[in-house]
Amino acid sequence: DTAVSQTPKYLVTQMGNDKSIKCEQNLGHDTMYWYKQDSKKFLKIMFSYNNKELIINETVPNRFSPKSPDKAHLNLHINSLELGDSAVYFCASTPGGLAGAIYEQYFGPGTRLTVT
Amino acid sequence: SQKIEQNSEALNIQEGKTATLTCNYTNYSPAYLQWYRQDPGRGPVFLLLIRENEKEKRKERLKVTFDTTLKQSLFHITASQPADSATYLCALLSSYNTDKLIFGTGTRLQVFP
């Protein structure tokens, strides 16, 4: 059983397109995150949700819009894709509440987005 | 400015030796520090967590130390094996902002037989 799953694993698209990445966790966790890992392997938080409510929005361009239909799912929609959006996007979850980051994080396998 | 720094160069060691990875931070007041392992093409996997009032934590062949005076955490793998080859990330939780982890850039460890 996959704890945190993401789809798709790979996404190749052209500049200007709109795309979505989906994430699901079956761990019963309250808090979910989106991270971006660039080509230098730097992992940076983008968003966090706690029980479907947005907690963190880390100065991410508003072309990125997360949506959490329920606490087990956190999707990421990206409008008007740019070359600089190429990266690996990771979803993660933790069992804690608003201070969920004090607990270990469970990461998904990542989605490699390539914008051409 | 705030920084979390790990050795950017790969660490190459021989099987059986102890690997020591360093995580230095500046301008943070960390409440917790976590270590993760990341294999190519995969998401990070949690290894250990150490709190600011703890000096040392162990789990099997892994040991983490936390020195808030030196602003440094050391991550040790004893009796290293080729299967330990991976990138290791440290992540810090600030006592002023417990909403998010701040990750270092990671150190790649290569263990040779």
- Within a 10 A sphere around the Cβ of A61, how many other Cβ atoms? 12
Q: Would you state the pLDDT for residue A22?
A: 98
> Judged by CB atoms within 8 Å, which residues 48-87 of A form the interface with B?
48, 55-56, 58
CA atoms within 13 A on the CB side of B83: 2
Residues of the domain holding B85: 3-112
Count: domains in chain B: 1
Strand bridging mode B72-77 / B19-26? antiparallel
Residue A6's closest chain B neighbor by CA?
B43
Taking the Cβ of residue B9 and every Cβ of chain A, the question of whether any pair is shorter than 8 Å is answered with no
Which residue ranges in chain A fall short of pLDDT 70? 1, 97-101
Per-residue model confidence as pLDDT tens digits over B12-51 = 999 999 999 999 998 888 888 999 999 999 999 999 999 9
CATH of the domain at B69: 2.60.40.10
Q: At A20, which CATH number?
A: 2.60.40.10
Segment B58-77, tens digit of pLDDT: 999 999 999 989 999 999 99
Number of Cβ atoms within 10 Å of the Cβ of B91: 24
How many domains does chain A fold into? 1
* Residue B10 near residue A79, CB atoms below 8 Å: no
**Domain range holding A33?**
4-115
